[in-house]
Structure 1
Amino acid sequence: MADYEVYDSPTPIEAGFKCCCPRCGEGKLFGGFLKLAPKCDRCGLDYSFADPADGPAFFVMSGIGIVVIGVFAWVEVTYHPPLWVHLVTVFPALIIGCLATLRPVKSWLVASQYINKAEEGRFESLGRHDFDSRRL
């Protein structure tokens, strides 16, 4: 019988909020601010499978942008503040909001890739019985 450990894996959302390993839920996922560590320091899971690409940046910019610009529009219509008030509040809100949520969203996407066993698509070669070239 093979020796293996059973892990109590967190859900992708839990792993995202904690920025932890998607398998054991304890190890660190990041080696820098947004750079993934090579592997988990607790269970040894190799993070080379993880490639969230630009997904986290897209989701964060879209979500934070919609919320902040919605609040900006509401404040403008309701209170008509001077332009400097918007400059002092909107840009910092966009920057801080994006930087604060980028790590958890990236961690969530990496955990989703791990749990759903996501990988690049590939073509399977068709066997002789699956494809008849005479029908073309």
Structure 2
Amino acid sequence: MPEIPTNTPGGGGDKLPPPIHSGLYGCCPRCGAKTLFRSYIAFADRCPNCGLDFSAFNVGDGPVVFLTLGIGTLITILALWVEFTFEPSFLVHALLWIPLSLLATVLMLRIAKGLLIALEFRNKASEGRIAPDE
């Protein structure tokens, strides 16, 4: 079993906070301080507590794609169930599912982005490099 990295450069000290805390509570993946986000879904530039540079991580659009597909599937299943059970008008579907889809995606986006940045930090993920031929 690999050893979990610690939050100090020398290797001693406390263990890293669980990755889910970065998403749920906005905790820094190194020190656990609630400094990951500067607004609801925008990352801070760095952690004022431990100095970890958050701009070095590349979360990109990965969380949005998975959330859109997952939530879209769930909303589609629910919309079909409502249609076949209650047979409401199209307007009821539009007023119900469009706001619900947007709200669920935006609410889950913070958790997904925080989790992804914590996993990048924990696994030391970086851009792939091709070694030069010797």
Please state which band the TM-score falls in when normalised by the shorter chain: 0.7 to 0.9
Q: Structure 1's 16 and 66: CA in aligned 2 closer, same or farther, altered over 3 A?
A: same
- Partners of 2:67 and 2:46 lie apart in 1 by 25
The alignment status of 1:40 with 2:33, answered yes or no, reads no
Partner of 2:108: 101
1:56-113 superposed Cα distances (whole Å, 9 cap, x missing partner): 1111111111111111111111211111211110011011111111111011110110
Between 32-41 and 79-88, the greater mean CA deviation after superposition: 32-41
- Partners of 1:23 and 1:6 lie apart in 2 by 11
After the TM superposition, which parts of structure 1 deviate over 3 Å for at least 4 consecutive aligned residues? 2-5
Partner of 2:3: none
Unaligned runs of 5+ in 1: 128-136
Between 72-81 and 25-34, the greater mean CA deviation after superposition: 25-34
- Partners of 2:11 and 2:117 lie apart in 1 by 23
Question: What percent identity do the matched residue pairs reach?
Answer: 36
The alignment status of 1:74 with 2:112, answered yes or no, reads no
Unaligned runs of 5+ in 2: 1-8
Task: Note the C-alpha offset of 1:39.
Answer: 0.8
Task: Please give the TM-score of this superposition, normalised by the length of structure 1.
Answer: 0.83
- Partners of 1:66 and 1:19 lie apart in 2 by 27
Partner of 2:99: 92
Q: Structure 1's 11 and 3: CA in aligned 2 closer, same or farther, altered over 3 A?
A: closer
Task: Note the C-alpha offset of 1:34.
Answer: 2.5
- Partners of 2:73 and 2:27 lie apart in 1 by 28
How big is the alpha-carbon RMSD for the aligned residues of Structure 1 and Structure 2? 1.8
